[in-house]
Structure 1
Amino acid sequence: MAESTTTPRASARADAASDVSTSRRSTPPATVVGTSHVSGRYRGSRDDGADVVELRIDLDGVIGGPRVSADVFAVAGATTRYTGSFVMADPVVTGTASSVRIEGAVRATWPAGPTGARVEVAGTEPSGAPAPTAPPGPATIRLSSPAESAGTTWSCEFVSARYRTVVYEQDTVTDQEPFVSYDTGLLPRPEGTPQRVLTVAGAFADAGVELTPVAGGADVVPVSGAGPDRQWGDDELHAAMVNHASRFADVRQWSVWLLVATAYDHPSPVRGIMFDQAGRGRQGCAVFNDVIAGSGPKARRAQLRTYVHELGHCFNLRHSWEKNLALPPAPLGPHSGRGDRSWMNYPQEYRAATGGGSGTEAYWRDFAFAFTPAELAHLRHAPLHDVIMGGNPFGGGAGDVDPAAFEAAERDESGLELELRTRATYSWGEPVVAEIKLAATDPAGVAVVPSLHPKDDRMSIAVRRPSGRVVLHRPLLRRCTHEARTRRLRPGLAIYDSAYIGADSFGASFDEPGEYRVRGRYTAPDGSVVVSPEVRLRIRPPMTEEDQRVGELLVGTQTGWLFQTLGSRAAALQSGNDALQEVIDEHGAHPLATYARLVRGFPARRPFKELTTERQLTVHPARPEESAALLREVVAPSGAAGTAPARLDNISLNQAMTALAEAEARRGRDERAGAVLDAIVPTLRSRGVRTRVLERVARDVETSRAALPATDRRGDRS
């Protein structure tokens, strides 16, 4: 933020007031004059010292009304454990000559928790007096329940005007320029929005969250030897974030990491990605300068939005149009969330709630560099597990989702048709892959964003387990795509993708025999939600002891993560790779060994960048001989040891053959590489792939052929 001579508390109140003035509410928030200066964070202990509490008093009106929340921790000897959180969402606030009193009903997260509370803050000035610059006095909070009208009492001292404090670490690869600040006066902005120099920390300070830089400052990550494109694959990003998280205990903590990387290894432009692994969920994210870099005002403004957006995901904020998939589900804003003037919306998706206009230009015309009131309430007052890094995975809860979110629309005039395809039966432990198809039915065509993978922000997949529980597939990595990707899909054409859904950030998703039901939903650029018909599949129980052992090796948590990233050479995933290697070595003739060979062979075809815990980039050389030997058995019609291989879906087979061609080229076998590429289209044709799809595959084959590693004068492959 810009330099100021005002106190932090006064500055925070000014920022909050500016946010309110530009949010265009139809009615003013319910506040009590002369009380907002007590807003902030307090900390204290119970009278008997058995518990401690972190109390948040929010009377500044930014979220639409007064609110109080708290996290409670039990103290036993030298240990402290989280008990739960409670929130007072609609309190009565009164200001007197000597104190501010806040009282009302509360909702607690633990069983038999309190139902009411009264908070008193001492040492305040009379109602209507100017807000003091000195910190407010101590606060007392007393809880009550039906069993007792006056129960537990805590005495608290004021800690900060910010509701939460997070350690923020940002690392940048060599030669990349990270975002520093943006002057909001350089480009048009909403009327009433103050001109100021805004940083990432300043944007979160506006929300009541303090980002404090990590001790020692930011690091520069060297990338020498990383290859000319310096691209980061899912496996490398996963390794970087796992290694970063390993610097800390595997516990909840207010600490977040952002990597300023070069480029993401994906054919479509991706602005950023958030990492979400159960147990270490939402602890880190990355942004990609090949898409967002630039020095002009528009580029700096867009960089600020991307940084805050990705960090917002780390605080468990979903995109504006998918809040209803969170647990608990949150209501969508205008135009199914597209009307939110928020960091979490996409500029190209924006549709003005009033006054008309849509798209990027309208977004920046209306956006006041702020979160919505509902998002602010989450950042400031959500229960600890739902917002802290390392708490509940993205979206909250343990993956459960409201089945109604995946019900077909009463009337669908979107002009789109979504279809999921899987095999009808899988062996226990066999990777479950869903082929996803999006087609147009409107003769005029429909504008779509061709992002069909669950890692992207358009597609969600729900799985109904044999028990009846419905869970949302939550990938390890969440991608935020670039805005210039909309295309018109016309009848007779379709977009395809495939996604491994056998495991997610929680581990294996199909880990018990029985019948499962799978459904997908795609969100179109105009806000239409297209739901696929339900697909049923059955997981067969193991028939032999070998089936049992192979299944056990393939349903492990780390093997599931390896399937999601199509393999990895990260040291942190060694036990998963050991399990796959055991399948190959000890059960090589088993049909499911094909999948182990694919996941072991795929990443070995090229160098692997590993960002270590010491912030050094280690580049492991390619192992093309090993990769080619494994992938040849994956794509060979006869399979390993003369047995028929497990049937890969068409897209995975295409990926495997393309990877095999790259491995052959790296080992100097150019003719073999060319022959493998030449065989892709005939192989897919023999599987019944449609002519129009084959035409696109043929173009992709030629692109892959042009990108094959070439031999330089030293005979090395680059």
Structure 2
Amino acid sequence: MSAPTDPTAPAPSSGTAAPEQHLAGDVPAPEAGPAAREAPLTRGRYRSGGPGHLLELRVDVDGVRPQHRVSGDFFTTAGETVSYTGSFVVDSPAVDVSGGQVVITGTGAFTFTAAASQVRVSIPLRPAPEPPGEATVRFSTPGGRPGAAYLCPFVSPYFRSVLLEQDSVAGTVPFTSYDTASLPGPAAVPPRELTVVRAYAEAGIELQLSAAADVIAADAAGTDLVWDDAELHNAMVRHFSLHADAPQWRVWMLLASAHVGGYRGIMFDYGDACQRQGAAVFHDAVKGSTPQALRAQLRTYVHELGHAFNLLHSWQKNLADPPRPLGPNHGFGDLSWMNYVQHYRPLSGAGGEAAYWAAFPFQFTDDELVHLRHGHHRDVVMGANPFGRGAAEISPELFDEPVEDRSGLALELRAKDAFEFGEPVVVELKLRTTDLRGRTTHGHLHPATDFTHVAITRPSGRTVLYRPVMRHCVDDTADTAEVRLDADDPAIYRSAYIGHGADGHYFAEPGEYRVRAQYLAADGSRIVSPVLSVRVRHPVARADQEVAELMLGEQAGALLSLLGSDSPALAAGNDALCEVITRYGGHPLAVYARMVRGVNAERGFKDLAADARRLTVRPPDAEESIRQLSAVAEASAGDGGVDNITLNMVMRRLASAQAKQGDLERASGTLDRMVRTFEAKRLRPAVLERIRRQAEAAREDLAAEAGLREREPDGPVSGPVSGPRPTG
């Protein structure tokens, strides 16, 4: 007879559990003070055994930083398979210690409708350092009718256990440890030697290091050690030896040299089974052996892995599903691994990097500990629910305008009046000052940086949050992150493709959409844009429908988000874009397929294959890039084609491809033509001046790179070489 659907309903008590099978070597137990080590503890993970329902129980009422909760996950067994059933948590239970046992009681909150919602856990006390006795868990109805009972032997002092595979590209130096006494810090925090493993152990999470870690040879990459999002996505789906198309307590950390955007780290958040299963740290942004560098490395590693556990940045928790409360100063006052040091703002006194390190105790906040230890299984385990629980319906009120706004900043969204069905929806974000005396803020205006969020209300009335395919951690303390908006330079602009993200296509049906953005300024001000109406037309001709079907494929959307890729996992998407170009080359939407194919051809593509453990590099295809991008530039010189910011990027990529063919004169002419094209579009003088500066900077970069290529036969040059400077 099959097990009941409700695991709390009356059922035969499960027997003694089989011992837990560990995935790797032992890791030291969480640190505890002398008093905690001497007292009998119940803290940790317990698990029942036997057929039918399994219960993994977490008890957190004593020990280090107890969160005064009991939680658990239910699983069902059928033959040799185990399936997740649901979860529960008891907040602030009653705890009675008497008669040689601990009895914990309370009302559970379940992910399913539970017939027996009252929870009673009893655990016999044993003298330290013996492990706790078996936990007996009994469920009952509010009226006292008995439900299911489980006998759960003690498994581990850790609430959860995760296998970490860490690979590094040759030439990078993986972080080992940091002594918190090396630099001044809060006096009340005991000094200790912290590794990434120990930092998570203090949170009650066991990180076990996989024996599969590798140093990846990078000889074939030459001087091109800068990674982009498409290469990282390909590395994830091709290389991660522990990856599986199922939720699992396994995560991959790649230590690479540098990211094309200059970021310290990135969390893979692709909208398939790979979500939250991998992260990357970029060595060049945090390298060094000084105490300051080691401290930054520790924080970056812990921070990026925190995203894999589905922890949002400190100022974003209210956008989660379900929403979590924000900490002090709308989250910017959190002393947490998940805050940015340069944006730390306590309730009183000075903020910023120095204030953060002077007060940071090297730990997660209590709210984050609750998630790590007691979050429902699918909300925490890698490869299950997406970052922040995904595109669940959010409250439009989160994007309401403030009652009072003295920020001196205004945010605008712009887009075409109407988009064809299947056309990539691109919006322009403009941040301007309303105070011509000037305002200083940060320049992280693109929604991939987590300081700008975009809400989309679909024709059905449902409001969802745009989630980018890759989440960039712009944890940069350099002054280059600051922008000064004043009378001479009153605004900054960014172009964002929001048609596709981690949840797939957001504009996949004709109709009227309402789009609104929110920007968090450097001082914490919340700048909300007016609502932008976006209309997606119905297809008119059969060719319109056929092109739209090709463009709205999931893989084609991913290629638009990544600006192309060689990944075999996206081969069907590349085939679809090629079909748009070859069969429907005269269709207005073909310009986007050409742009993706042309941008991807302009760059070399690093491939990190699982079997080779070595980087291979596909060299740039300058001829193909020039063919495709020239067509894009021609189609976009007037009112059609791609938007102006994208056209700026396309023409500089085109110049780069021409320079790679050895024709610097032609490349320089393309940059001159770019300036003339935008002059003909009658853009604002400040914008035109910025474009002229971009053209000159690109010209200098291409000349320098041409000089490096000429010297390469005599021996490789050291250090990464970047492509054209991005528009941002």
* TM-score normalised per structure 2: 0.90
| C-alpha distance in structure 2 between counterparts of 1:111 and 1:426, whole Å | 44
The equivalent of 1:132 in structure 2 is: 128
The equivalent of 1:388 in structure 2 is: 381
| C-alpha distance in structure 2 between counterparts of 1:16 and 1:164, whole Å | 24
Q: Is the 8 A contact 1:510 1:539 kept in 2?
A: yes
> How much has 1:668 moved relative to structure 2?
2.5
Q: Is the 8 A contact 2:422 2:508 kept in 1?
A: yes
Identity, in percent, stands at 49
| C-alpha distance in structure 1 between counterparts of 2:447 and 2:528, whole Å | 14
The equivalent of 2:359 in structure 1 is: 366
Aligned partner letter, 1:242: V
The equivalent of 1:252 in structure 2 is: 247
Pick aligned residue for 1:179 from 169, 175, 179: 175
Aligned partner letter, 1:631: L
Q: Does 1:295 align with 2:289?
A: yes
Aligned partner letter, 1:370: Q
Aligned partner letter, 1:121: I
Q: Does 1:699 align with 2:693?
A: yes
Q: Is the 8 A contact 2:636 2:647 kept in 1?
A: no
Aligned pair in 2 of structure 1 residues 16, 433: CA closer, same or farther (>3 Å)? farther
Q: Is the 8 A contact 1:108 1:114 kept in 2?
A: no
- Per-residue CA deviations over 1:50-77 (Å, capped at 9, x if unaligned) read 1001110001376664100101011122
| C-alpha distance in structure 2 between counterparts of 1:511 and 1:170, whole Å | 38
| C-alpha distance in structure 2 between counterparts of 1:161 and 1:171, whole Å | 28
Aligned pair in 2 of structure 1 residues 174, 15: CA closer, same or farther (>3 Å)? farther
Aligned partner letter, 1:666: K
- Per-residue CA deviations over 1:417-470 (Å, capped at 9, x if unaligned) read 011111121111100001011111124322211011111121111111111111
The equivalent of 1:13 in structure 2 is: 32
| C-alpha distance in structure 1 between counterparts of 2:415 and 2:85, whole Å | 43
> How much has 1:145 moved relative to structure 2?
3.1
Aligned pair in 2 of structure 1 residues 645, 549: CA closer, same or farther (>3 Å)? farther
Q: Does 1:559 align with 2:544?
A: no
The equivalent of 1:38 in structure 2 is: 42
Q: Does 1:58 align with 2:60?
A: yes
The equivalent of 2:19 in structure 1 is: none
Q: Is the 8 A contact 2:399 2:516 kept in 1?
A: yes
| C-alpha distance in structure 2 between counterparts of 1:141 and 1:611, whole Å | 47
Equivalent position SS for 1:460: strand
Aligned pair in 2 of structure 1 residues 347, 103: CA closer, same or farther (>3 Å)? same
- Per-residue CA deviations over 1:359-402 (Å, capped at 9, x if unaligned) read 11111111000000000000000001111110111111444322
| C-alpha distance in structure 2 between counterparts of 1:696 and 1:519, whole Å | 27
Q: Is the 8 A contact 1:169 1:256 kept in 2?
A: yes
Aligned pair in 2 of structure 1 residues 608, 101: CA closer, same or farther (>3 Å)? same
> How much has 1:476 moved relative to structure 2?
1.2
- Per-residue CA deviations over 1:576-618 (Å, capped at 9, x if unaligned) read 1011011111111111111001001111012111111233211
| C-alpha distance in structure 1 between counterparts of 2:636 and 2:504, whole Å | 32
Instruction: Give matches, 1:295-444, under 5 Å.
Output: 295-353=289-347, 356-444=349-437
Pick aligned residue for 2:94 from 54, 77, 92: 92
- Per-residue CA deviations over 1:488-507 (Å, capped at 9, x if unaligned) read 32245111111100000121
Q: Is the 8 A contact 1:200 1:307 kept in 2?
A: yes
| C-alpha distance in structure 2 between counterparts of 1:245 and 1:411, whole Å | 49
Q: Is the 8 A contact 1:230 1:262 kept in 2?
A: yes
> How much has 1:682 moved relative to structure 2?
1.3
| C-alpha distance in structure 1 between counterparts of 2:141 and 2:34, whole Å | 37
The equivalent of 1:189 in structure 2 is: 185
Equivalent position SS for 2:593: helix
> How much has 1:111 moved relative to structure 2?
3.2
Aligned partner letter, 1:270: Y
Aligned partner letter, 1:94: D
Report runs of 4+ in structure 1 exceeding 4 Å deviation.
15-18, 61-65, 713-718
The number of equivalent residue pairs is 680
Equivalent position SS for 2:386: coil
Aligned partner letter, 1:447: T
| C-alpha distance in structure 2 between counterparts of 1:91 and 1:530, whole Å | 41
Aligned pair in 2 of structure 1 residues 233, 457: CA closer, same or farther (>3 Å)? same
> How much has 1:715 moved relative to structure 2?
9.3
| C-alpha distance in structure 2 between counterparts of 1:404 and 1:533, whole Å | 13
- Per-residue CA deviations over 1:204-225 (Å, capped at 9, x if unaligned) read 0000000001133x21112223
| C-alpha distance in structure 2 between counterparts of 1:305 and 1:314, whole Å | 15
The equivalent of 1:4 in structure 2 is: none
> How much has 1:713 moved relative to structure 2?
6.7
| C-alpha distance in structure 1 between counterparts of 2:556 and 2:676, whole Å | 32
> How much has 1:234 moved relative to structure 2?
1.4
| C-alpha distance in structure 1 between counterparts of 2:368 and 2:681, whole Å | 48
Q: Does 1:286 align with 2:305?
A: no
> How much has 1:714 moved relative to structure 2?
8.6
The equivalent of 1:262 in structure 2 is: 257
| C-alpha distance in structure 2 between counterparts of 1:430 and 1:245, whole Å | 33
The equivalent of 2:672 in structure 1 is: 678
The equivalent of 2:573 in structure 1 is: 576
Equivalent position SS for 1:653: helix
Equivalent position SS for 1:568: coil
The equivalent of 2:21 in structure 1 is: none
Aligned pair in 2 of structure 1 residues 150, 646: CA closer, same or farther (>3 Å)? farther
The equivalent of 2:13 in structure 1 is: none
**Structure 1 unaligned runs (5+)?**
1-6, 19-32, 126-130
Equivalent position SS for 2:461: coil
| C-alpha distance in structure 2 between counterparts of 1:247 and 1:363, whole Å | 36
Instruction: Give matches, 1:444-593, under 5 Å.
Output: 444-481=437-474, 482-484=476-478, 485-491=481-487, 493-593=490-590
Aligned pair in 2 of structure 1 residues 637, 447: CA closer, same or farther (>3 Å)? same
Q: Is the 8 A contact 1:63 1:377 kept in 2?
A: no
Aligned pair in 2 of structure 1 residues 682, 153: CA closer, same or farther (>3 Å)? same
| C-alpha distance in structure 2 between counterparts of 1:474 and 1:210, whole Å | 29
Q: Is the 8 A contact 1:507 1:556 kept in 2?
A: no
Aligned pair in 2 of structure 1 residues 328, 713: CA closer, same or farther (>3 Å)? closer
- Per-residue CA deviations over 1:609-634 (Å, capped at 9, x if unaligned) read 11112332111111111111111111
Aligned pair in 2 of structure 1 residues 695, 15: CA closer, same or farther (>3 Å)? farther
- Per-residue CA deviations over 1:77-111 (Å, capped at 9, x if unaligned) read 22211111100012101012221111101001123
Aligned pair in 2 of structure 1 residues 385, 150: CA closer, same or farther (>3 Å)? same
Aligned pair in 2 of structure 1 residues 611, 714: CA closer, same or farther (>3 Å)? closer
Q: Is the 8 A contact 1:634 1:645 kept in 2?
A: no
| C-alpha distance in structure 2 between counterparts of 1:397 and 1:138, whole Å | 37
The equivalent of 2:12 in structure 1 is: none
Q: Is the 8 A contact 1:594 1:646 kept in 2?
A: no
Pick aligned residue for 1:238 from 233, 236, 245: 233
> How much has 1:148 moved relative to structure 2?
6.4
Aligned alpha-carbon RMSD (Å):
2.2
The equivalent of 2:221 in structure 1 is: 226
| C-alpha distance in structure 2 between counterparts of 1:638 and 1:654, whole Å | 10
Aligned partner letter, 2:394: V
> How much has 1:170 moved relative to structure 2?
1.0
| C-alpha distance in structure 2 between counterparts of 1:115 and 1:417, whole Å | 49
| C-alpha distance in structure 1 between counterparts of 2:597 and 2:503, whole Å | 22
> How much has 1:149 moved relative to structure 2?
2.3
